[in-house]
Amino acid sequence: MPQMAPIKWLSLFIIFSMTFIMFNIMNYYNIFPTTPKSILLKNNKNFYMNWKW
């Protein structure tokens, strides 16, 4: 659509960019970090790995 005014392209670009940034921010902060497995292994002293193969 080359007949569109340049200000229309600029507003579309700004709306798309803000939507993209907000979507990425929401997905980034949606992940809850879990405790590392090394801390869990230190708390459980009777942990043995039993390979069944």
Q: Is residue 24 part of a domain?
A: yes
More reliable by pLDDT, 29 or 47: 29
Could you tell me the pTM of the whole model? 0.49
Does residue 37 have a pLDDT over 80? no
Q: Is residue 48 part of a domain?
A: no
Residue 46 lies in a domain: no
Counted domains in the chain: 1
Q: How far apart are CA 50 and CA 42, in angstroms?
A: 18
Question: How many Cβ atoms are within 10 Å of 25's Cβ, its own excluded?
Answer: 10
Domain that holds residue 24: 7-31
pLDDT at 17 over 80: yes
